[in-house]
Structure 1
């Protein structure tokens, strides 16, 4: 069985062809990073227009790389939730058109479930049941995952997502977008103990939620001062490095700490981590140390499967096996639907 998967939830236009043995026949990603750099974040209108321009060439390239024609496929799958409305609509319209023309079944993908499923693809073996953490620019969520399409939410951010906080702090420090890689790079030269930023909600072991807005504000007050404008900011290169390292360590403490609390509360012994923040080297290092100390099994995808991609859309295979086929009047759900 071979499935074409399409991903356009935010600012990456991606397509892949994958078999039911999870063999990746092709994978294509067209990044929009350069389009959004001047704004310090993703601009939805720009993202949508870029998807319109790129979606057909990306799908065509994915099919060519795989050596497959549309008639050789068994299904068309597309991410429909959650994400930016305009971006989701471009992917869904393309998928529905291909499904209607070919007569192939249409499969809906939950983008967040797909991020966790990337761990299954990378490991080459079963990873469920597990605790799943998605840490990205738009989401910082914890789930109890009984199976690949059976998720129960147990924690989430009450304000900013971790990746969003990285972007905003990077902007404050004059670092380029995307903020995650920029802060990680600067932090390599910094002292992560120089500033003791808060770890919101970490001490509340009974609550599995995240909060990064107050941490972001604490960084602002540290580097700008109370009642002052960012225009007055004047930091040395070393100070930027130290703030970056200290901020990054605070975020990592919160993410790792809540994962440990979730494992303890549920009794689960496997942790799967997905999303763009999972590409952060310090975060990966701390997770590996935590899993060794606390003796749980850790799965993190390779860097290429952490950021948005269509390979993780292989979760559509699980939905096909469960008989979950969608009608052609399928609509998007920009907000997170019940899993």
Structure 2
């Protein structure tokens, strides 16, 4: 059997994926949760409802044309592999995954959203071999800005936190600045497109403490730029440059401790093409392709496959 189903219900995407190990093809069906214009996000109760509403349609489309049985189901059930890590929106995927697995009479495996991001990035970079040895992963999204040490584990990598943001997360900074500029939520793609209209070059000194970063100043500086009447494109450009500067600071701290380990960058913020080009050139870093950077279930499907292989 070669088909593995992945499900992820994070903020703010309902994601399903089917990995065919016989062909190496990953098929995805995913949909953003609708957020009204001008809002910063959704209440968790609304997110759970919307995930439960969208999951059946996505699974119907994903599984409509399969010609062989699914071997196992994987699902994200928590944000991170850390004690107390919890978010209600993952309960939607958890419930549906258990029901699907019971109906199909196949095993269901549980993973963190972060592990799924890391596995998806490795899959899209054609480097799943790194799951067999230590490497460092950076996960930058709306809820996480972390550098973690990954070691081989049972199916999913064992993850140890190295550095983090002490306040605002990178994705929050992007979305708050996007809201300030009147961009749609989530704001990443629109903010990047707007930043490309700027001709300015910013040299930003990041706020760092022992390899951890502070990002709250980005929002404050961008608000000040707007209040001064500076062009929106320049404000967008500053936001991205400031996030990149903080990421450089975290990367240098990691390199001091682990100079020889491969570096992987994952999460929705890492779909930014400018950051990708800059860090690939300077550090030889690995990045997920854009379709595997934002929230997705592809990595969860890969991890389910690994669980079966290691059983």
Q: TM-score range by the shorter chain?
A: 0.7 to 0.9
Separation in 1 of the partners of 2:193 and 2:166? 28
Q: 2:73 maps to which residue?
A: 76
* CA–CA separation in structure 2 for the residues paired with 1:61 and 1:179: 27
TM-score w.r.t. structure 2 length?
A: 0.87
Cα deviation for residue 252 of structure 1 reads 0.7
1:295-315: CA deviation from partner (whole Å, max 9, x where unpaired):
xx4211110000111112112
**Alpha-carbon separation, structure 2, partners of 1:276 and 1:284:** 12
Query: Match of 1:86, SS?
Result: coil
CA–CA separation in structure 2 for the residues paired with 1:251 and 1:257:
10
Q: CA RMSD in A?
A: 2.3
Q: TM-score, normalised by structure 1?
A: 0.80
Q: Deviations over 1:2-24 (max 9, x none)?
A: 22111112221121221456823
SS state at 2:110 partner: strand
Structure 1 residues without counterparts, runs of 5 or longer: 226-234, 292-296, 324-339
How far is the alpha carbon of 1:188 from its aligned partner?
0.8
Which one of 139, 142, 146 corresponds to residue 144 of structure 2?
139
Q: Displacement of 1:255 after TM fit?
A: 0.9
SS in 1 for 2:106: coil
CA distance in 2, matches of 1:164, 1:144: 23
Bigger radius of gyration? 1
For residues 43-82 of structure 1, the aligned pairs below 5 Å read 43-68=43-68, 72-82=69-79
Matched pairs, number: 298
Which is worse superposed, 75-84 or 104-113?
75-84
- Segments of structure 2 that go 5 or more residues without pairing to the other structure are 81-85
Partner of 1:175: 183
Change (3 A) 1:165 1:316: same
**Does the CA contact (< 8 Å) of 1:172 and 1:220 recur in 2?**
yes
Task: Give the corresponding residue for 1:333.
Answer: none
User: Which residue of the partner structure matches residue 160 of structure 1?
Assistant: 168
Aligned match of 1:307 in 272, 294, 297? 294
Distance 1:119 1:161 in 2: 20
